[in-house]
Structure 1
Amino acid sequence: MISIVLALCAAVSNAVASNLQRIAARTVPESKAFRLALILDLIRRPVWLGGIVALIAGFAFQAAALSTGPLALVQPVLATELPFTMVLLSLMFKMRLEGRIWLAVATMSVGLALFLFSASPSTGREPPSTKVWILAAIVTVAVVIGLCLLARLIEGDGRAALLGVATGIGFAFTAAFMKQSTSILAEGVATLATSWQPYAMVAAGLCSLFLLQNTLQSGTLVAAQPALTISDPVASILYGTMMFGESVRTGPWIILEAIGIGSIFFGSFLLAKSPQVRAQLLAQTKPKQRS
């Protein structure tokens, strides 16, 4: 139960971070995409720095949650970041959410609850071996690079969605390193400092953060956020079951799990298609065309 509460706190913090960072990122000209100049421009903006503080808080809550619960449980709970993002969006821009949006939020919430109840993720038995980590890293890097190259070929919301998936996978892989690091920390700070996993976690996190900024700068939030929010828990379940030996219910339970996942996707679809949210985002966060 404590891991779920901590994961919800992480979701709220990440929702705050997404909104603040997007406000800043959408004011940066498109010419700075995929360049260090993007970060150098953003770091001078207080709103973006506030988003980073919220992101760090989310990171801390997530680490605490992973230290008490399985990866396949904690990361799916973080999918509530999307409903929280939309609610915070309404508060920040003083907009009244239409019934369709509340339906989407309710659908996602019920879907998540149904999935967690039916899957009932359990803690893994053994930590991954170095060989498993290397194989996972090769596959992850190949998939992320492939998505980024494909994203470069298109523009607008399509690019934002593809980069959102790549970013979600990156953060899921970062969470896997975080899960392992919290276990190593139990053996002592000295052991953690001399292990490679926390440094790999930092590297993966920084790369994912860079991808996130390009995701937010590439298109609307309603295109980027659903892709990011859904790909993270799905990838995390795969990492948890294939790397950490975590398990989810099978048999007839798969039907309920599929309905739960389907509800999350449907809720994301409703949010992405909301004319109200699209109009508000275009009006409030239209990117400047300065150089």
Structure 2
Amino acid sequence: MMVMIASALAAAVLYGAGAAVEQRQAAGAPQSSAGRPGLLLMLARQPLWLLGIGAQIGGFAAHTVALRFGTLATVQLIVAAELIVAVGVVRIWSGRPLGRDSWAAALTVVAAIVAFLALTSPAHGHVAGHYSAHAVGAIVGAVLTGAGALVAAVAGLRSSGNRRAVLLAVAAGLADACSAVVIMQFSHVASHGVVAIFTSWTTYAVAVCGTGNVLLTQSAYQTGRPMVTLPIIAAVTPAASAAVGIALLGETPRLGAVGAVAACFAVLVASLALGWLARSAPHPEVPEPADLAVEVEELTVLTGVPRQGTERVRLPLATHGAPRQAA
């Protein structure tokens, strides 16, 4: 139990720190690269992004150990703390303090996630080792969460603004859950030696799901709305994992009538808190590459009336060395 808790906490810290670093770097990438493999090639040229990926790999290793010794829902409950780490790093890095209301909403999301997973966690005595007999359930769970991620991603790439950020974050959260299911099965296969690793479907599924997961996550971060994407990913991942565990992997929740009502209430609270964060989230911190932001101390409008203060003006970039004419 102590190994599982320590590993899950380490995964939460590493995942959160890595997510914050990746979000900052991905926010500067052009929107046209979202959802394309070229986005990863572009980000791979940035040392800080690679540092974030390194932290995520460390989180993956710790996550794998935790899933080997604990149930899917319980491990995801602890790993949900990554949201607090990520939000804290994002705010410190940006130099802009997070308002009390936003902090309260973020903490409420985490508390609601923890409450939901605590209420829906398996009954005592159902250990992770039993999952080795549920390969079919794991395959079905991976397919369902992966398909859901694909649908949300397609819808998100066709949207804009906060809607784009929300849908891509949902896609990334479902992809995370898909990866968690596959990693859980892989952790058991890995304990049977090298031959078992290379002959198991889980090894190749981890590679495919991991690549898709990274791409969708970076596409969500690319929207430049960390207070939308980070909480949604943190909420969708454990909720989807718990659903797979209960429906397909044989986890029996300790839910009575009161517990079911409490779990539904936790979902409602988390949804409201996520809605508040999405509504109050600032605009992207990094301007889109297609625009050039110019700060001026005074701007004289066409009427000749000077406007005091600092304003942000969007000017079109030059194309092939020639400036574009304004309409």
**TM-score above 0.5:** yes
SS of aligned partner of 2:251: coil
- Give, in whole Å, the separation in 1 of the partners of 2:59 and 2:112: 23
Residues 97, 72 of structure 1: alpha-carbon distance in 2 compared, 3 angstrom cutoff: same
Q: Which has the higher contact order (CA 8 A, sep 6+)?
A: 1
Asked if 1:179 corresponds to 2:184, the answer is yes
Q: Which whole-Å deviations, capped at 9, do the CAs of 1:131-174 have from their partners, x for residues lacking one?
A: 44554444334322222222233112211211111111111111
Worse overlay, 224-233 or 98-107:
98-107
Aligned to 1:264: 270
Residues 110, 147 of structure 1: alpha-carbon distance in 2 compared, 3 angstrom cutoff: closer
SS of aligned partner of 1:246: coil
2:185 corresponds to which letter in structure 1?
A: Q
Q: Determine what percentage of the aligned residue pairs are the same residue.
A: 29
SS of aligned partner of 2:206: helix
Larger radius of gyration: 2
Aligned to 2:127: 123
SS of aligned partner of 1:63: helix
Aligned to 1:222: 227
Residues 258, 129 of structure 1: alpha-carbon distance in 2 compared, 3 angstrom cutoff: closer
1:25 CA drift (Å): 1.1
Q: Unaligned regions of 5+ residues in structure 1, if any?
A: none
- Give, in whole Å, the separation in 2 of the partners of 1:111 and 1:218: 25
SS of aligned partner of 1:218: coil
Asked if 1:68 corresponds to 2:69, the answer is yes
SS of aligned partner of 1:127: helix
How many residue pairs get aligned? The number is: 286
- Give, in whole Å, the separation in 2 of the partners of 1:33 and 1:110: 32
2:38 corresponds to which letter in structure 1?
A: A
1:8 CA drift (Å): 2.4
- Give, in whole Å, the separation in 2 of the partners of 1:106 and 1:126: 32
Calculate the TM-score normalised by the size of structure 1.
0.87
1:214 corresponds to which letter in structure 2?
A: S
Residues 56, 100 of structure 1: alpha-carbon distance in 2 compared, 3 angstrom cutoff: same
1:263 corresponds to which letter in structure 2?
A: V
Aligned to 1:91: 92
Contact 1:123 1:247 in 2 (8 A): no
- Give, in whole Å, the separation in 1 of the partners of 2:117 and 2:33: 40
Contact 1:7 1:74 in 2 (8 A): yes
1:244 CA drift (Å): 2.0
SS of aligned partner of 1:50: helix
1:112 CA drift (Å): 3.7
1:71 CA drift (Å): 0.5
Match of 1:155 among 154, 160, 163: 160
More helix by share: 1
1:255 corresponds to which letter in structure 2?
A: V
1:27 corresponds to which letter in structure 2?
A: G
- Give, in whole Å, the separation in 1 of the partners of 2:103 and 2:219: 28
1:128 CA drift (Å): 5.2
Asked if 1:206 corresponds to 2:200, the answer is no
Aligned to 1:18: 19
Contact 2:142 2:182 in 1 (8 A): no
1:231 CA drift (Å): 1.2
Q: Which whole-Å deviations, capped at 9, do the CAs of 1:113-144 have from their partners, x for residues lacking one?
A: 43344334343534355544554444334322
Runs of 4+ in 1 over 6 A off after TM superposition: none
Asked if 1:143 corresponds to 2:134, the answer is no
Residues 229, 113 of structure 1: alpha-carbon distance in 2 compared, 3 angstrom cutoff: closer
1:176 CA drift (Å): 0.8
- Give, in whole Å, the separation in 1 of the partners of 2:206 and 2:27: 28
Aligned to 2:322: none
Write out aligned runs for 1:24-63 (5 A). Answer: 24-63=25-64
Calculate the TM-score normalised by the size of structure 2.
0.78
Match of 1:170 among 171, 175, 183: 175
SS of aligned partner of 1:231: helix
Contact 2:23 2:222 in 1 (8 A): yes
1:72 CA drift (Å): 1.3
Residues 112, 141 of structure 1: alpha-carbon distance in 2 compared, 3 angstrom cutoff: closer
SS of aligned partner of 2:270: helix
SS of aligned partner of 2:166: helix
Q: Unaligned regions of 5+ residues in structure 2, if any?
A: 292-318, 320-327
Residues 8, 29 of structure 1: alpha-carbon distance in 2 compared, 3 angstrom cutoff: same
Aligned to 2:289: 288
2:278 corresponds to which letter in structure 1?
A: A
Contact 2:109 2:269 in 1 (8 A): yes
